[in-house]
Every structure is written in C-alpha cells, then in structure tokens.
Chains A and B, each alone.
Chain A
Amino acid sequence: MQDYLTYSVYGSAILLMLIGLYAALVKKNLIKIVIGLSILDAGIHLLFVAVGYLNNATAPIFSETVLDKNVVMADPVPQALVLTAIVIGFGVTAVALALVVRLYRKHNTTNIDEIKNLKW
C-alpha cells in the first residue's frame, strides 16, 4: 500500500513537471509556453508538499486540542517554501505575459517561428 502511494503521488508530480516542460520545449505559441511553465510550477509545488507529508500527521498548527497531546505534524519547512514559490510564480507569469503582449504589438504574431528578429 505504501509503495503504491509513493509511486502514484511522486509519479504524478513528476509527470506533471514533464508535461509542462514538454509544452515549454515543443510548442510554438508564446502563450502555450507560458501555460507550460505554470504547469511545471504546479508539479514542483506538488512534489515539495508530498515530500513534507508524514503518515497520520496533522497540519502544523497548534490549537487547544492539539497542544497537549504528542501529535505528529507534517513538515512545515516545504510548506513555507511552496507558499512563497506560488506568489513568486504569479509575479513571473505576469512579467512573461507582459513580454508576450509587447512582442505581439511589435510583430503582430504570437508564433515564435514568425518572429524573425531573434535569428541571426
């Protein structure tokens, strides 16, 4: 049972990362590339949170009921990392999309093959 869960959770997180990377590497449309990068972000967040989970753990928040007993808590460090990574990811996506809009204004296309100025 445990092996099964290990493979399925980590496997789907890594598969999500690979799907995002595939879109970012193969697709020609600029917005599709940004979508791929945000899927890659989602996979990394899932992987980090899954590494921090412990069996029969509670959320790392103390309250009156949790305080006295000797409870197992999930690892809070990856959660704090992912919390900041999501907000940074939003900023990165916003800047990338602004660059897409700027390129569209200049070249009137979102296909990277038609933007010839990048070649030399």
Chain B
Amino acid sequence: MKKLIVITLLLILGFYLMSTFISVPFGAERIAGVKDYYLKQSPETLKVSNVVTAIVVSFRGFDTLGEVTVLFLASTALGSILYRRRTHHSGLNPQREAVVSSTLVRTGAKVLFPMIILLGAYVFVHGHLTPGGGFQGGAIIATGFLLILISYRKFFINHNVLTWVEALAGTTFVLIGIGGFIFANQNNFLENFLPEGTLNNLISGGVVGIIYIAVGFKVGAEITGILDTLLTIKEAGLNPDEN
C-alpha cells in the first residue's frame, strides 16, 4: 500500500518535471546572456582558457569559498560524530597492525603512489588551461593517500599536518581575495590584481591559478582527513561493547 502511494506520487512528480524540461529542447540554441558574457570575458580580459575554471574561481569565487568551507565543516562534523577517546595517541592499533596486505598490493602501491600524487599536482596546476582543477586534483591526491592507507596498515597520517595545510590554503584563498580589495582596479573581493599574461601559457590568468592551487591543497587535505577518520573506526567496530 505504501509502495503504491509512493509510486503514484513519484509518477506525478516525474510528469511535471518532464513537462517542464520538455520546453527546453535538448541541444537547441537558446538565449542565455550570462553564458555569452562569460565566454567573451574569460579569454579577453581574464586570459583564462578554461571557462569553467574562470566561473568557479573568478566570476563566482565567493561561492567556491563557501563550498570549501562546507567541505571543511563536513570533515569536522565527521570527526565529532565518530569521536571516541583513543587509548594511545600514536595511532597504531595492535588489531590493525595484525592484518597485513599481500606483497603484490604493497609493492604496487609503493610504485603507484608518487605517480598518482604527480598526476593530481599536474591536474590542479594546469586547472586554468586544461580540464581539471583544484577539486579534481585534490580528489586524485586523496585517492593516492587512500591506496597507501589501505595497503600499509602501519601508515599513519598526522592530523596536525593536515590541519596546517588546510588552514594555510584557506588563509591564502582569503588573503588573495582581500588583496583584490586593496590592489585591484575596481576594489572588489577576489578581483584579479596580478598581470594577466598571455592566453594558453602556464603563467596566465593572474590570481586564478594561485587560488586553484590553494583549493587543490585544501580539498586534498580535507578528503584525506575524511578517509582517515572513516578508516580508523574499523577496528573500533570490532568490539561493540566499548561504546
């Protein structure tokens, strides 16, 4: 009975969604003023090749600042939800050390780890030229750390280092934004105040590249922190009496 009601409601919702979106034909040319503005301004005044990067970092940079803050809040909330007093602070749990991954996995992880980190760094350094950027590069770096975390059980991430990386990256973002108030032409938050350079060079786009590198460090540190917090609860789940 409940399923029937839910399906009926969902069908009604689907009908109205479909009849709304059918008025915007797939792929047809339509009037979108803001798109033309961004596509014109991004290569001409900002000198950023990747328009998505220009929107994320420059035109709507304030949104990105809020988004990075949301990710930071998620990582903090995760730590506080799963909080459990640790018996020793070294992070080495005897139960966790007892499980050893195979030699193949460990050797493969050792070979792959520097390459994954290099790929992540490449993706966020070239964020304003090619597809990619801080979010993607940070996620790739976190994947590399995940590989190491699940293949070397003794590997231990120092959360103080993560906190410092995160804090420094966030401070860089805000300081560059405030720099726009002081040095830029129109005194706006996050406005470009460095020389733009030439289009399609690595050093171009002014502050956009620097901000995306900071975002890359911040996202990488935050996602690594989330994964480490989730992975260390594993041995805690083995003895459910201790609550």
Contacts and interface: CB of A to CB of B under 8 A. Distances in A.
Tell whether any CB of A sits under 8 Å from a CB of B in the complex: yes
A87 B55 contact: no
Contacts of B223: 90
A6 B25 CA distance: 6
A117 interface: no
Q: Dominant SS at the A interface? A: helix
A3 to B, nearest CB: 8
A47 B199 contact: no
Contacts of A22: 6-7, 10
Interface string A65-105: 00100001101110110011011101110110111011001
B211 to A, nearest CB: 14
Contacts of B226: 91, 94
Contact of B131 (A7, A51, A61, A99): A61
B82 A98 contact: yes
Interface string B22-63: 101111110010110011001100000111100110001001
9 contacts: A2-B28, A6-B26, A22-B7, A22-B10, A53-B27, A75-B32, A76-B51, A83-B135, A87-B135
Interface of A: 2-3, 5-7, 9-11, 14-15, 17-18, 21-22, 25-26, 47, 50-51, 53-55, 57, 59-64, 67, 72-73, 75-77, 79-80, 83-84, 86-88, 90-92, 94-95, 97-99, 101-102, 105-106, 108
